[in-house]
């Protein structure tokens, strides 16, 4: 057929527009990064559908965000990308019970100029249970990818803050453009910690415990009043609106649990004490020193999330003739190390259903710590349960997550061998049906084992050099540079001041697992005051808290790496 010249000319005019308007439908991706399909089939793999239920030589199909088929003879859809799973192991994606993943610490609130310390505004004091973690979610946060690389697909992320930062949410550890895209469920639980207000009431654990009880009791009364008024307002005084109290109504009504962040054994006991006094549903997270508390927690029906973080193994001194005292002290210290690393095994033995909390743990340490726990008595099936089925049940998402079964969310982690073997590595992670690839490293770290701190690690380099820091103090901001060097094995550093004050040495610098801490001293009115700084380095930024222990005050410090290094 002869195409008229006129028509061609018209087509040529239209086509550019067509291509132009195609951008609105965005099927084109000039980076080439979008996946070609949302259907995947992993063939001939060992599929661990749930702890202890292994299907050898199986195929699993993920389609449109769900697991659409699992079996030995499964028909593979036409649009599927087929991944050869020979020798690989497929597990349900891991679930983190409590952490700050995917959030960015908000800027600290400025101290009001006329602050009345006995009765500060609630938001300054950190009493904001009505807030939601959604407001803090940073989809670009590297913590998401970091944790996903360790095999986690869903996390219960909780907000940064002080005593009552707000409610957490369940999020997918996916790379998306908008927070809404990664939220699985909101308002799952209220989050609380034993962190006091900065230089105002409640300043420490004493005030926090009392304030907690006071808020709760008033919330209870207010709820009664509100319900009574809603039923029949006639003659009743109008209930005062109070967002803090209202945020507690579902907790008082027993519908919403409270998740506590704990630092030590006494914190766990204090959280349980509050629960005992007031009667709400409780989850205790980040438990580090809980080996004596398993039975009690079980009895109280508390939800339990053990800390994924473990202490470094103590290194006994190598000297030839150790005194009796040194031998005894090292033995006791090792004894205690064992208690920490066998804590999970203790809970397993006590029959407590528990999950893990990755708060304070870097993604690249998860495997190491899990292996240590296995070496110290936790059996692999129970470990897997603590990563999958148990948190799914505790968080109420067991209908959609926690196992590799048909109908559940397409959340999987695929490893090059059984996960609980030292050498195996993560190859793929599927989050919400999308595939993430990971490079398999070749025995590079064979000599210095995975458990050790990589000696000449790329993570060191980002630390060295010059940073521009900023302190947010009630008196205004204070800035300058942090210059960090390394001499042999030891870090040294200096802080300069923009206001011309002399340089201060950074002391006790320690950088482990992405956490940088150091201290420095200032002369404050005749006495030397020590300030401890600790925080996380993510890429080129450093977010930390500087605390002045003697005065029970802390404030924010943030720093950015100066480019050119």
Cβ–Cβ under 8 Å, residues 42 and 74 = no
C-beta closer to another protein: residue 139 or 209: 209
Residue number, 117 or 379, with CB nearest to another protein:
117
In the complex, least distance from residue 249 CB atom to another protein, rounded to whole angstroms: 15
Rank residues 11 and 329 by Cβ distance to another protein and give the closer one.
329
Task: Kindly tell me which residue out of 349, 550, 560, 565 binds another protein, with binding defined by CB under 8 A.
Answer: 550
Q: What is the CA radius of gyration of the chain?
A: 27
Residue 513: φ, ψ to 5°: 50, 40
Alpha-carbon distance of 558 to 537, in angstroms, equals 10
In angstroms, rounded to a whole number, what is the distance separating the alpha carbons of residues 127 and 199?
Answer: 14
Beta carbons within 8 Å of 266's beta carbon, 6+ residues apart: none
Q: Is residue 29 within the footprint of another protein (CB under 8 A)?
A: no
Tally Cβ neighbours within 10 Å of residue 454: 14
Using CB under 8 A as the binding rule, whether residue 266 contacts another protein is answered as yes
CB of 160 to another protein, least distance (A): 21
- Binder among 301, 489, 539, 563 for another protein (CB under 8 A): 489
Residue 525 contacts another protein per CB under 8 A:
yes
Q: Using an 8 Å Cβ cutoff, are 545 and 534 in contact? A: yes
529 binds another protein (CB under 8 A): yes
Number of residues that bind another protein (CB under 8 A): 85
Using rule CB under 8 A, residue 320 touches another protein = no
Under rule CB under 8 A, residue 479 binds another protein: no
Please report whether residue 294 would count as binding another protein according to CB under 8 A.
no
Other C-beta atoms lying within 10 Å of the C-beta of residue 190: 25
Residue 109 contacts another protein per CB under 8 A: no
> What SS3 class is residue 387?
helix
- Strand 183-193 versus strand 166-172 pairing type: antiparallel
Residue from the set 502, 539, 563, 564 that interacts with another protein by CB under 8 A: 502
Residue 249 is a binding residue for another protein (CB under 8 A): no
Q: Of residues 180-219, which lie at the interface with another protein (CB under 8 A)? A: 197, 199-207, 209-210, 213-214, 217-218
Considering the complex, state which of residue 296 and residue 543 has its C-beta at the smaller distance from another protein.
296
* CA 460/CA 512 separation, integer angstroms: 10
For the bound state, the minimum distance from the C-beta of residue 519 to another protein, rounded and expressed in Å, comes to: 8
Residue for token digits 């310390």?
Answer: 117
Examine residue 497 and tell whether it contacts another protein (CB under 8 A): yes
Q: Is 464 in the site for another protein (CB under 8 A)?
A: no
CB of 115 to another protein, least distance (A): 9
CA 520/CA 494 separation, integer angstroms: 9
Contact between 110 and another protein (CB under 8 A)? no
User: Nearest CA to 430 among 83, 79, 74, 27?
Assistant: 83
345 to 404, contacts with another protein by CB under 8 A? none
Task: Pick between residue 201 and residue 438 the one whose CB is nearest to another protein.
Answer: 201
Decide the pairing of beta strands 465-473 and 434-437.
Answer: unpaired
Q: Is 437 in the site for another protein (CB under 8 A)?
A: no
301 binds another protein (CB under 8 A): no
**Cis bond upstream, residue 202 (ω within 30):** yes
The angle formed by the CA atoms of residues 463, 437 and 460, to the nearest 5 degrees, is: 10
């Amino acid at each position: 057929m002869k195409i008229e010249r006129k028509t061609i000319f018209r087509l040529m005019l239209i086509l550019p527009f067509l291509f132009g308007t195609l951008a609105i439908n965005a099927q084109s991706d000039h980076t080439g990064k979008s996946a070609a399909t949302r259907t995947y089939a992993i063939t001939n793999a060992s599929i661990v559908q749930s702890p202890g239920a292994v299907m050898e030589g199986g195929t699993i199909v993920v389609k449109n965000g769900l697991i659409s088929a699992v079996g030995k003879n499964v028909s593979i859809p036409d649009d599927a990308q087929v991944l050869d799973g020979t020798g690989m192991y497929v597990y349900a994606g891991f679930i983190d019970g409590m952490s700050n993943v995917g959030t960015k610490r908000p800027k600290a609130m400025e101290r009001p100029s006329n602050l009345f310390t006995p009765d500060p505004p609630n938001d300054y004091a950190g009493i904001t249970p009505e807030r939601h973690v959604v407001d803090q979610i940073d989809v670009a946060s590297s913590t998401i990818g970091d944790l996903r690389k360790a095999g986690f697909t869903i996390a219960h992320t909780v907000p940064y803050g002080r005593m009552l930062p707000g409610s957490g949410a369940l999020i997918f550890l996916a790379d998306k453009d908008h927070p809404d895209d990664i939220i699985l469920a909101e308002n799952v639980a209220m989050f609380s910690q034993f962190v006091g207000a900065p230089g105002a009431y409640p300043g420490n654990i004493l005030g926090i415990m009392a304030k907690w009880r006071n808020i709760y009791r008033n919330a209870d009364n207010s709820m009664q009043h509100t319900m009574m008024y809603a039923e029949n307002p006639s003659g009743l005084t109008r209930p005062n609106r109070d967002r803090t109290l209202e945020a507690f109504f579902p907790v008082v009504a027993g519908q919403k649990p409270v998740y506590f962040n704990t630092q030590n054994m006494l914190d766990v006991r204090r959280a349980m004490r509050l629960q005992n006094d007031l009667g709400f549903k409780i989850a205790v997270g980040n438990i580090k020193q809980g080996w004596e508390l398993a039975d009690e927690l079980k009895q109280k029906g508390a939800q339990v999330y053990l800390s994924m973080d473990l202490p470094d193994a103590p290194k006994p001194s190598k000297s030839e003739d150790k005194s009796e005292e040194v031998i005894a002290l090292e033995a006791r210290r090792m004894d205690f190390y064992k208690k920490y690393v066998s804590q999970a095994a203790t809970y397993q033995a006590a029959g407590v259903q528990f999950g893990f909390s990755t708060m304070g743990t870097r993604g690249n340490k998860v495997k190491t710590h899990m292996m240590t726990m296995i070496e110290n008595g936790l059996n692999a099936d129970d470990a897997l349960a603590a990563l999958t089925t148990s948190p799914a049940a505790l968080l109420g998402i067991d209908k959609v997550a926690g196992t590799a079964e048909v109908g559940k969310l397409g959340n999987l982690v695929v490893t090059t061998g059984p996960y609980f073997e030292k050498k195996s590595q993560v190859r793929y992670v599927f989050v919400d049906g999308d595939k993430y690839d990971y490079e398999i490293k070749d025995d590079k770290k064979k000599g210095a084992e995975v458990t050790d701190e990589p000696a000449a690690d790329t993570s060191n380099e980002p630390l060295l050099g010059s940073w521009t820091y900023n302190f947010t103090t009630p008196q205004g901001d204070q800035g300058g540079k942090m210059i960090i060097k390394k001499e042999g094995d030891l870090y040294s550093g200096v802080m300069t001041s923009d206001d011309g004050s002399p340089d201060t040495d950074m002391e006790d610098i320690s950088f482990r697992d992405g956490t940088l801490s150091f201290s420095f001293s200032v002369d404050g009115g005749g006495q030397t005051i020590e300030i401890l700084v600790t925080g996380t380095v993510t890429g080129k930024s450093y977010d930390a808290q500087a605390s002045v222990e003697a005065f029970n005050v802390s404030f924010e410090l943030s720093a950015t790496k100066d480019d050119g290094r």
